[in-house]
Amino acid sequence: MNIGEAAKRSGLPAKTIRYYEDIGLVIADRADNGYRDYSDNHVHRLNFIHRSRDLGFSVEECRLLLSLYDDDARESAEVKALALAKITEIDEKLARLASLKATLQHLADHCHGDHRPDCPILEELSGNTGSCCH
């Protein structure tokens, strides 16, 4: 199948598929005319990568996951360790986002939001949180 059909079946843009081919995640066959030729197996791998990326895995982590998927002698403990590391990373991001949200909520709660020019949000962003004139 051509790249357009592979894109349709995998839910990935053709540009992304070309990128994945350029970095060696997926290697398409070449038809006699030189065009990329994708099989059902290629689409399966593209779907695997797509789902992995949706779960937050980096391109390099996808490369590792694919190598584990292709390795019949793999140990599931390796895959679980990758998943648990990703969960830890997500938890850290969630904590940072919660902190950002709390800070913004505090600033918004202390802004009058009226016609006056003084605004604690802008003061915080500018670093002028003291009583110094600007």
According to the model, what pLDDT value does residue 131 have? 47
Structure confidence at residue 133 (pLDDT): 45
Return the pLDDT at 125: 87
Residues 11 and 58 in one domain: yes
The tens place of each residue's pLDDT in the chain, 134 residues long, gives 999 999 999 999 999 999 999 999 999 888 888 888 999 999 999 999 999 999 999 999 999 999 999 999 999 999 999 999 999 999 999 999 999 999 999 999 988 888 888 888 888 888 876 544 44
Q: 17: domain range?
A: 1-74
Same domain, 61 and 127: no
The enclosing domain of 31 has a CATH number of 1.10.1660.10
Question: Do 67 and 59 meet the contact criterion of CB atoms below 8 Å apart?
Answer: no
What are the start-end ranges of the E strands in the chain?
Answer: 29-30, 36-37
> Residue 48 falls within a domain, yes or no?
yes
- Where b means 16+ CB within 10 Å and e means fewer, 69-82 reads eeeeeeeeeeeeeb
Is 84 part of any domain? no
Our count of domains for the chain comes to 2
C-alpha 113/C-alpha 132 separation (Å) is: 22
Domain assignment present for residue 21? The answer is yes
| Residue that finishes a domain, picked among 47, 74, 101 | 74
Q: Per the domain annotation, does 81 fall within a domain?
A: no
pLDDT of residue 130: 55
Same domain, 48 and 102: no
- CA distance to 10, 41, 97, 115, 123, per residue, from 105 (Å): 40, 49, 12, 20, 15
pLDDT of residue 124: 86
Residue 82 lies in a domain: no
